[in-house]
Amino acid sequence: MRRNHEPVLARTVVDEWAIAAQVPKPTARGTMLRYSGAHGCFRRMAYDWFEAQYSDPPTPAMVIQANMGTLFGEAQAAAQIRKYGGEAERASQINHWLSGSADWFGQVPEYGDVVYENKVKSGFAFNKAMGYKRGYGRVSRNGEDGPPLEAVVQAGMNAIGISMELGRTVEWVIVGVLSTDVLSVNEARQIDATDTERFCGEWAVPIDVFEPWARREIARLEEAYEIIDYGNIPPTIAIGDGGVRVDLDPEGKSWQCGYCPYRSLCAKDGEGFVPVTQSALIRRPSTTETKE
């Protein structure tokens, strides 16, 4: 028996996913910014808008989890529609520069109108959300962090946009976090976890919690919009854990930069504001018109 160091069959679909990921997905309604950019880097938003060619294209290892999340999310929404009705990928728009789509929107007993946000996470992120401390077959509960704040904010912006279009208030969002690394039966016994808690956590978030965070992010994104609309590439401003502003360093240890398809380009452009006309960006081959 021998291991194929370059697999012949095992990565076939992932290779296709990586090819498809060479350009960003369009926003829900063609706006400059998207809800899913919640807490993201200003500069990456600008490179997306100015249709920059990726300097560091996503690799198969980088896209596999996102695409597994997409596949599960589509199946999840279809099941939710069969059970509750509602809509998958319910699009909405808050203003002329910001739009997005909810993974699922519908009505659920007890909550009424609900925006559902689905997140598929690695074992590390799932353990953090659920408060599991795991290692070498041992597990304990260590106080849950709950869902990622950016997921709550993204769902909240969807709720605000849908409320504006429906003319009634969506008062609840529900965030589901599913793990790619399921607790073993033995681990579950150690902490008396239910079968569901082995792979899934869900949090219902009321409007008095999600709305302030979402409106704060809308105000932050407006700053990005104004900088980009003026024809500038903004600094590398993002929001980190706890909702605190962070200045990312593409040549440092910022984990967000490790996953960014523009990392080398960003480093080349340097710090601070950069007029798009002075940026080192190369426009994607499919683009024919210049945005200024």
Rg (CA), the chain: 20
Residue numbers in the chain where pLDDT is lower than 70: 286-292
Q: Which domain holds residue 47?
A: 33-278
- Helical H runs in 85-130? 123-130
237 within a domain of the structure (yes/no): yes
Residue type (1 letter), 208: D
pLDDT at 286: 67
118 within a domain of the structure (yes/no): yes
287 within a domain of the structure (yes/no): no
Residue 257: exposure state from Cβ atoms within 10 A (0-12, 13-18, ≥19): buried
Residue 20, phi then psi, degrees to nearest 5: -70, -20
DSSP 3-state assignment of 133?
strand
286/232 Cα distance (integer angstroms): 22
DSSP 3-state assignment of 222?
helix
Q: How many CB atoms lie within 10 A of CB 104?
A: 26
Please, how many CA atoms are within 13 Å of residue 268, restricted to the half-sphere of its CB? 11
7 within a domain of the structure (yes/no): no
CATH number at residue 137: 3.90.320.10
286/8 Cα distance (integer angstroms): 31
| Placement of tokens 């016994």 in the chain | 189
**Residues in CB range of 205: below 8 A, 6 or more apart:** 147, 152, 155, 156, 172, 173, 174, 175
Residue type (1 letter), 229: D
pLDDT at 288: 45
Total of domains in the chain? 1
**Residues in CB range of 92: below 8 A, 6 or more apart:** 28, 99, 100, 101, 102, 158, 161, 162, 164, 165
13 within a domain of the structure (yes/no): no
69 within a domain of the structure (yes/no): yes
pLDDT at 58: 92
Contact (Cβ atoms closer than 8 angstroms) between residue 137 and residue 129: no
273 within a domain of the structure (yes/no): yes
Please, how many CA atoms are within 13 Å of residue 236, restricted to the half-sphere of its CB? 20
Contact (Cβ atoms closer than 8 angstroms) between residue 137 and residue 186: yes
Q: SS3 string of 112-124?
A: EEEEEEEEEECHH
- The 10s digit of each residue's pLDDT in 144-195 is 999 999 999 999 999 999 999 999 999 999 999 999 999 999 999 999 999 9
8 within a domain of the structure (yes/no): no
pLDDT at 24: 87
